[in-house]
Amino acid sequence: MSPISNQDPRAKLFVALDLPSLAEAERLVARLGDTVTHYKIGYRLGYSDGIAFGRELAASGKSIFFDLKLHDIDNTVREGVESIVKTGAHYLTVHAYPQTMKAAAAGRAGSHLKILAVTILTSWNDVDCAEAGYAGSLQSLVQSKAKQAVALGMDGIVCSAQETGLLRAAGIPDRVELVTPGIRPAGVDSGDQKRIVTPRAAIAGGADRLVVGRPITAVADPVAAAQAILDEIVMARG
């Protein structure tokens, strides 16, 4: 499979393979076929067969995003990132703590792996930030973490699509990708997500890539659900 252009709407959509088993993930990827070109592998699959599966998908031409949200002592983060580089994956997340981001930058040096810094989870709101001991508003936290991530050489920021305008206005440069989970088509259950945006509004508001799990993986017709989101992406671009 030749690499798809960034202008192709499929390059904007990462489907989160949060499935209970490798067999179910393989079945879903086969069913989605060429409709989906970008996949995210997180804790659920990553802690079982997901790393090997991601390596296989990357070799077959899919774009792979390991959402492992690393945060550990520097040496462990650096060595973990070095292992992920060897899988051929394209993206990896780390939590946006300065030491962790510096270690991740060292681990991926000289490779094509892009490191994304997770600011504040999209399942959090202001109350959750206060409960975790943060002072200041959620938006100001996202902004300061994003600025620090850019200063430390991160390639992208994970935030809600509610914050993309704010981040660009605050000077986050265009070369830094804004990757946004918490995407919900109109009328779809938000589940545990607290900062949700529709696919169309997210793209119109400046999100570079959307991360979508359950609205595609937990429905009767995942191909139709993915296609409807791709249609919204096209509509948003006018």
Ligand X SMILES: O=c1ccn([C@@H]2O[C@H](COP(=O)(O)O)[C@@H](O)[C@H]2O)c(=O)[nH]1
Give the binding site for ligand X (CB under 6 A): 16, 18, 42, 67, 118, 121-122, 158, 181-182, 191, 193, 211-215
Q: Choose between 150 and 159: whose C-beta lies nearer to ligand X.
A: 159
Active-site residue 231, yes or no? no
The answer on whether 27 is annotated among ligand-binding residues is no
What's the closest the beta carbon of residue 99 comes to ligand X, in angstroms? 20
CB-count burial class (<10 Å; 0-12, 13-18, 19+) for 135? exposed
Of 8, 12, 62, 72, which is the active-site residue?
72
Dihedral (CA of 162, 164, 169, 171) sign = positive
The answer on whether 221 is annotated among ligand-binding residues is no
Please give the Cα distance from 6 to 3 (Å, whole number). Answer: 9
Radius of gyration, alpha carbons of the chain: 17
Of 8, 34, 62, 67, which is the active-site residue?
67
The answer on whether 67 is annotated among ligand-binding residues is yes
What's the closest the beta carbon of residue 130 comes to ligand X, in angstroms? 18
Dihedral angle, C-alpha 104, 66, 123, 75, nearest 10 °: -30
Q: How far is CA 232 from CA 13, 63, 182, 186, 228, in A?
A: 11, 21, 16, 11, 6
Active-site residue 72, yes or no? yes
What's the closest the beta carbon of residue 110 comes to ligand X, in angstroms? 27
Q: Choose between 7 and 223: whose C-beta lies nearer to ligand X.
A: 223
β partners of residue 94: 70, 117
Residue with the shortest CB distance to ligand X: 213
Phi first, then psi, for residue 6 (nearest 5°) are -65, -15
Q: Choose between 17 and 150: whose C-beta lies nearer to ligand X.
A: 17
Within 8 A by CB and 6+ apart from 9, the residues are: 230, 233, 234, 237
Of 12, 34, 62, 69, which is the active-site residue?
69
The answer on whether 18 is annotated among ligand-binding residues is yes
**200-220: burial string, b at 16+ Cβ within 10 Å, e else:** bbbbbbbbbbbbbbbbbbeee
What's the closest the beta carbon of residue 40 comes to ligand X, in angstroms? 6
Q: Choose between 105 and 118: whose C-beta lies nearer to ligand X.
A: 118
The answer on whether 69 is annotated among ligand-binding residues is yes
The answer on whether 8 is annotated among ligand-binding residues is no
Within 8 A by CB and 6+ apart from 31, the residues are: 222, 223
Active-site residue 67, yes or no? yes
Q: Choose between 16 and 113: whose C-beta lies nearer to ligand X.
A: 16
Please give the Cα distance from 188 to 195 (Å, whole number). Answer: 14
Residues with a known catalytic role: 67, 69, 72
Q: Which residues are annotated as a binding site for substrate?
A: 18, 40, 67-76, 122, 184, 193, 213-214
